[in-house]
Amino acid sequence: MSVIQTAQRNKAGEKKATRFYSSKQEKSVAKNLNGKVNKNSGATLLEKGDVQLDNWLIECKTKTTDSDSISIKKDWIEKTIKESVMMGKDNVALIFSFGPSSKNYVIIEENTFKDLINNKNNG
């Protein structure tokens, strides 16, 4: 992709890189979940993924412009699972949004979702 394709203009006409939107989403997710944003989006040797909680590793994905769809890649989930094992995290989630003004949505494995429902119903 060219710089023009990966950057969007804000209201003042300045270009914002994809990283701007990703960082904004990661910080929002970490704040909302009382987590920690990993440096360089997990590109360091010891900290992987975008956001981590006590027992969770989270990968964040967002579009740079509001959209009606987003493609979810199996590789994103598989990579996060591998990284969670390296970091000693038991759970993974993929949090995505359809753009800067969209809510975040979460993808988790079905049995993890079942456990969350059972814990809520029994607590």
- Which of 5, 7, 9, 3 is closest to 17 using CA atoms? 7
**Backbone dihedral region of 90: left (phi > 0), alpha (psi from -120 to 50 degrees) or beta?**
alpha
Give, as one character, the DSSP assignment of residue 44: S
**Global pTM?**
0.82
- Which of 21, 54, 19, 17 is closest to 36 using CA atoms? 54
* CATH 3.40.1350 at 3-122, yes or no: yes
- Which of 64, 62, 61, 66 is closest to 8 using CA atoms? 64
Output the pLDDT for position 39: 78
pLDDT average per 10 residues of sequence, the chain (123 residues): 45 76 96 91 69 96 96 96 94 97 97 94 82
